[in-house]
Amino acid sequence: MQGWSGLIEQRLAALPCSVALEWPGGRAGTANADVRLKLNESRWLGALARGQIGALADAYVQGQVDIEGGMREVMAVAAELVGDPVQAGTPPALSRWWGQIRSVLRHSKRRDAEQIQFHYDVSDDFYALWLDPRRVYSCAYFREDGMTLAQAQEAKLDHICRKLRLEPGQRFLDIGAGWGGLLLWAAEHYGVEAVGITLSKNQHAHVNRLIQEKGLGGRVQMHLMDYRDLPEDRPFDRIASVGMFEHVGRANMVAYFDKIRRLLRPGGLVMNHGITAGGLYNRQLGGGMGDFIEKYIFPGGELMHVSKVAETLSAGGLELLDVENLRPHYARTLWAWSDGLERQLDAARAVTNERTVRAYRLYLAGCAMSFERGWISLYQLLGSRPTGREADGTMRGAQSDFPFNREYMYR
C-alpha cells in the first residue's frame, strides 16, 4: 500500500486541477481541492495509479467510489491520467483478427435490437431532461455564435436537408430516426414523403404519436425495423443515417453501404453522419473508457477511422462527394447535454436510478472531453449512387443530383 501511496502523490502533483483523495486508512492531495475522490476500498488505488479510468468509472457506478467536483475539472484530471489513445500503434495481427470475428458475432439482428433498446429505451423522460425539445440525440451545428442547443440542433437538421438538396415530393428515408427530429423537419420544411426506421420501441411509439398530432399521417411513416429488412422495390431519392452507423459493426460496413446503394435510386444522395475514431488504430478510448461505455452505455458500438469509413462506402458501390468534420461541434453539444443533466440530477434519479445517472454523468462529460482532445471525431459524408451515364446530373459527368459545388454551405 505504501508503494501505491508514493506513486499516487506523484501523479496528483502533476495534474491540471487540485485533487483530494481519501481511502480506508489514508488520504492524499490538497484540502479544498477542485476534485475530490473517495475510494471505499483501497484496491482502487492501483487502478488510479495505472490510469485505469474505466475501472474507476465502473466502481463509481457501483457506488464503490465517490466523485465530487465540476465535470469539466473531473474530466481534465481523467484525461491526464489516461493518456492519448490516438498515439496507440498498430494492433497485433491476432488482435485485429479477433476484433473482426467479434464484430461478426455481436451484430445479428436480434443482438442489434437488444443493444439499441438497452440504450435508447432507458426512459424517454430521462432523455427529455437534458436533450433539446425535439430530442435530437446527435451532434448539433453551432453555425453562429450565441446559439442555444435547440437552435444549433435545428441548424444541424437544416444543414443536412440542404446538403441532401431535399425538394417537395421526394422520397426520403431516415435510417435510425431517433425521436423523429430530422424525419419531421424534412417533412414539414421541405415537403418530402418521409420514412423513418428505428429499433427502439420507445422512439417508435413517440414518433408515431407526433405524426398523428401534426397531421402528417399521409406523408410520414415510422417503422420498428432493422435496416437490413427494408424492401428495395421502391427506391428512395434521398437517404440520411445520423448517429446510427456506429452500431452497425466494422464487419458489416461494406454490406451496410451496399444496402443503402440498393435502396437509393440512381443519381440519388445519401448523408452518413456519425462518430469515428480519432486515430487510425485506436478502435476505442484508452484506459478502459471504451470498455466502460460498452458495458453501461452503448453495447455493440464500434468506431472506425474516417478513412476506413470512406473505404467501405466506396466498396459498397457509392461515390463519396463531400466530407465535413464537425468534431468541435460535438464537444460543445455534449457539454450542453452534460450541463443539462447536472442541473437535473434529482429529477433524473426520480425517473431512472442512481446507477444510470452516475453512468451518464461520466459518459456525457467523458465524451465531451474526448471530442475536444481529438480522441474521437464526427464526420458527415455525402455520397451518391452514380447513374453510370456520363451526361446525367447538373454538369456533364456528374452522374448524380449533386452540383459539385458547396453553394448550400454559403447561401
Q: Tell which of 56, 82, 108 closes a domain.
A: 82
Domain count, the chain: 2
Cα first-last separation, the chain: 64
Q: Tell which of 29, 56, 82 closes a domain.
A: 82
Instruction: Looking at the structure, tell me whether residues 243 and 343 fall in a common domain.
Output: yes
pLDDT recorded at residue 84? 75
Cell matching residue 226:
432493422
pLDDT recorded at residue 112? 55
Q: What are the residue ranges in the chain where pLDDT is below 50?
A: 1-2, 92-94, 96-98, 101, 103-105, 107, 118
Q: Tell which of 57, 82, 107 closes a domain.
A: 82
Tell me if 41 is assigned to some domain.
Answer: yes
Query: At 270, which CATH number?
Result: 3.40.50.150
Within 10 angstroms of residue 50's Cβ, the number of other Cβ atoms is 16
pLDDT recorded at residue 83? 73
Instruction: Looking at the structure, tell me whether residues 148 and 221 fall in a common domain.
Output: yes
Identify each DSSP E strand in 176-283 by its residue range. 193-198, 220-224, 236-242, 264-277
Instruction: Looking at the structure, tell me whether residues 72 and 158 fall in a common domain.
Output: no
Tell me if 90 is assigned to some domain.
Answer: no
Instruction: Looking at the structure, tell me whether residues 253 and 219 fall in a common domain.
Output: yes
pLDDT recorded at residue 389? 85
Instruction: Name the residue range of residue 125's domain.
Output: 97-410
Element of type H or E holding 380? strand 376-384
The CA radius of gyration of the chain, in Å to the nearest whole number, is: 23
Question: What's the CA gap between 384 and 317, in Å, rounded?
Answer: 9
Tell me if 88 is assigned to some domain.
Answer: no
Catalytic residue among 17, 139, 161, 367: 367
pLDDT recorded at residue 183? 98
Instruction: Looking at the structure, tell me whether residues 19 and 121 fall in a common domain.
Output: no
Tell me if 89 is assigned to some domain.
Answer: no
Instruction: Looking at the structure, tell me whether residues 75 and 103 fall in a common domain.
Output: no
Tell me if 91 is assigned to some domain.
Answer: no
367 counts as catalytic: yes
Element of type H or E holding 381? strand 376-384
